[in-house]
Amino acid sequence: MVVRRVKEIIQRALEEDIGKEDITTLYTIPSFLRVKAKLIAKEGLILCGIDIFRQVFKALDRNIKFKSLKKDGSKVKKGEVLAVLEGKASAILKGERTALNFLSHLSGIASETHRFLNKVKKYKVKILDTRKTIPGLRSLEKYAVRVGGGLNHRQGLWDGIIIKENHLLSLGIKGRNKFDFLKLAGLIKNIKKAVGKKVEVEVENLREFKYVCECRPDIILLDNFSPQQVKRAVLFRNEYFPEIKLEVSGGIDESNIIKFARFQVDFISLGVLTHSSPAKDISLEVIAFR
């Protein structure tokens, strides 16, 4: 993650929550009051975002003392203390919710990624994220996927080429009862010559899949295929085009991921990792004051 970008994200989050002033803290907490607080996991999780949690408080008061007892990627049990901090009560109370929001959300993504990986660990498939992220938080969410053991797909449109259905429809390559694979083959060849990046193409059925194989992309995305369709695609790829990698996406969850992984696809991409992972229950509790 780019440090400057993270600082900007934290600053925007603090401005959103505090606004002009935390009026509750202003009228209840003396400016001289100092407190000590501990960060506690209320459930089991894979920790992610502990340094971002720290940076939230440092942005409010550089003199706050912070001691992390766990690091990102740690497997944490319910009730474990993750960190201890000490400093002005006003700064700690102002930053509490923003810091916890980051930590709970990112730990949720890391934990969910880890859980999916555990389900398919006996297979060689790699788990990828997608671009289905909260606007403005993509760099943090994709970092959480990595902490959980997954891999990042594209960071954005600028760093990877995936020719999807709407591209094919817009170009007239795909239409009702037609698929111009010669035009697609020429397009892929020109892209590789111009950009020098791997090219991935999305297909929606086995007929399209076989046409696209002839076009020699680096990766083919099998979108919303059934497990049996995936099996047939893998067998065809293995026999005729072993150099092409296969990615599966769409309609995959914890109940059926093994059905796809067992057919030896190369990648499974899951939007659920970033758009639907439940936040983890973590709390900050004051344990002393002076």
What CATH number should be reported for the domain holding residue 240? 3.20.20.70
Residue 193 DSSP SS3: helix
- Count: domains in the chain: 2
**CA distance linking residue 93 with residue 44, whole number of Å:** 25
174 and 194 housed in the same domain: yes
**CA distance linking residue 14 with residue 104, whole number of Å:** 16
Which tens digit of pLDDT belongs to each residue from 232-284? 999 999 999 999 999 999 999 999 999 999 999 999 999 999 999 999 999 99
- pTM for the model stands at 0.95
Q: Residue 132 burial (CB < 10 Å; 0-12/13-18/19+)?
A: middle
- Catalytic hit among 38, 58, 119, 132: 132
Confidence at residue 1, expressed as pLDDT on a 0 to 100 scale: 59
- Catalytic hit among 174, 223, 237, 247: 223
Express as a percent the part of the chain with pLDDT over 90. 95
What CATH number should be reported for the domain holding residue 25? 3.90.1170.20
Residue 288 pLDDT > 90: no
Residue with tokens 């780019």: 2
Look up residue 78 and give its amino acid: K
List the domain range (segments joined by +) for residue 64: 3-113+277-289
- Other Cβ atoms within 10 Å of 54 Cβ, number: 18
Confidence class for position 4, pLDDT limits 50, 70, 90: confident
Residue 3 pLDDT > 90: no
268 and 138 housed in the same domain: yes
Q: What mean pLDDT is reported for the chain?
A: 96
Is the Cα dihedral 170, 244, 252, 177 positive or negative?
A: positive
- Indicate if 129 belongs to the active site: no
Confidence at residue 290, expressed as pLDDT on a 0 to 100 scale: 76
**CA distance linking residue 71 with residue 47, whole number of Å:** 7
- Indicate if 164 belongs to the active site: yes
- Indicate if 202 belongs to the active site: yes
Q: Are the CB atoms for 67 and 11 separated by under 8 Å?
A: no
**CA distance linking residue 96 with residue 98, whole number of Å:** 6
- Catalytic hit among 97, 131, 183, 231: 97
Confidence at residue 140, expressed as pLDDT on a 0 to 100 scale: 97
- Indicate if 132 belongs to the active site: yes
232 and 162 housed in the same domain: yes
Q: Are the CB atoms for 179 and 145 separated by under 8 Å?
A: no
- Catalytic hit among 164, 183, 192, 232: 164
Which tens digit of pLDDT belongs to each residue from 123-140? 999 999 999 999 999 999
